[in-house]
Amino acid sequence: MLSRTADCLYWMARYTERAENTARMLDVSHQTALLPQPEQFLEQSWKKLLTISKLEDDFSKKYDTINRHNVLDFMIYENTNPSSIVSCLYSARENARVIRGRITSEVWETQNTTWLELQTILVNRERSDHSRFLEWVKHRCHLVRGVIQGTMLKNEALYFLGIGTLIERADNTARILETKYEIQENVKPVQKNKGAEEEVIDSFFNFYHWASLLRSVSGFEIYRQIYSDQITPKQVAELLIFNPQMPRSLVSCVNELIPLMAAVRNQDSKEIERLLGKLKSSLEYSDIDEVFKQGLEEFMEDFLERINHIADDFSNTFLIPLAVA
C-alpha cells in the first residue's frame, strides 16, 4: 500500500474519532454546567476542556474570556482550530475523498453526507441547539464506523483505519482521566464546619464530577453494571485503565492495537511492536493501588508519552512524515 493511501486512511479514522470525542466532552460539560456549582469551578471546567486538547494558547489568541459561549464556539466551529468538530469532519471527509478507490462507496457516501448536512447546520448555527448538534455528531461518527465495519474487506485498509481509531481513543481517554482528576485534586474539601458552598462542592465531586467523566467515554452505565455502588475515583480509574471489556479503556485499546500492528508489519516496524508489547506488559502487571501510589497524573503522563511515541514511530514507518505532509 502506498504511504499516501495509508496516511489518508489513518487520519480519516483519527479525525472521525476526534470529532466524536470532542462532541462527547462538550456535551457532558454543557449538561453539567446546568447543575448548581461554584462559579470558579464552572470557569475551571471550561478551561480544562482546552487543557485536554492542548489548545489554551490558540484559544487565548482569539478570545479574551474563558466561558461557555467562547469555548463551545472555539471547539465546535472555529476553522483555525484543527481539533474543532468542524475542522475534524472536514479533514475526515477530505482524506476519504482522496482515497475513494480504497474505501467502499457506502463509506464515502456516509462521510460526504455528514459534511453536506453540516453545511446546512452551519447556516443556522446561531439558532442551533448545542445538545442536539453534539448528539448528531456522535451519531454520524458511530454511523461511519458501523459502515466501515459492515462493508469493507478485512485487509490492510481496514487495519490502518483501526489503528488510527485506537491510537486516538487511547490518547483521548488518558487525557480526560488525567485532566479531570487534576480538577478534582485542585478543589480541597473542608473537613470541619462546612458551609453551604463547601457542601455543594463535596456533593458535586462525590457524584456529578466522576459521573460526567464516565459519560464522556460512554462508561456510566458500564460502571453501574460492574461496580453497582458509589462512584469513586479509584474505581473509575480502574475501569478506564485496566478493564479489558471496557471499549475505551487503555488496556482494551492497546490489546486491540497489537494484532492490527502485526497485520501491517514491514521490515521497519519491529520497534513499534516492541514498544506496544512493553506498554501492554506494563498495564497487565500493574494494578490500581500501584497507580495511585505512583500518582494518577504521573501514570497518565507516562502513558501519553509512550502512546504518542508509538504514534510518531508509526507515522515515520508507514505514513507520510508530518514535515513533508
Compute how many other C-beta atoms are within 10 angstroms of the C-beta atom of residue 31. Answer: 15
Question: Could you tell me the residue ranges of all domains in the chain?
Answer: 3-188+196-318
* pLDDT tens profile 152-168: 999 999 999 999 999 99
Give the pLDDT score at 191: 45
* pLDDT tens profile 131-159: 899 999 999 999 999 999 999 999 999 99
* pLDDT tens profile 179-237: 777 655 665 444 445 555 555 555 555 677 788 888 888 899 999 999 977 888 899 99
CB of 19 closer than 8 Å to CB of 141: yes
Least confident of 8-22, 32-46, 260-274: 32-46
Q: Does 309 have pLDDT greater than 70?
A: yes
Better pLDDT: 188 or 59: 59
Crossing angle for the helix pair 130-151 and 156-186, to the nearest 10 degrees: 150
Give the pLDDT score at 66: 86
* Rounded percentage of the chain residues whose pLDDT exceeds 90: 65
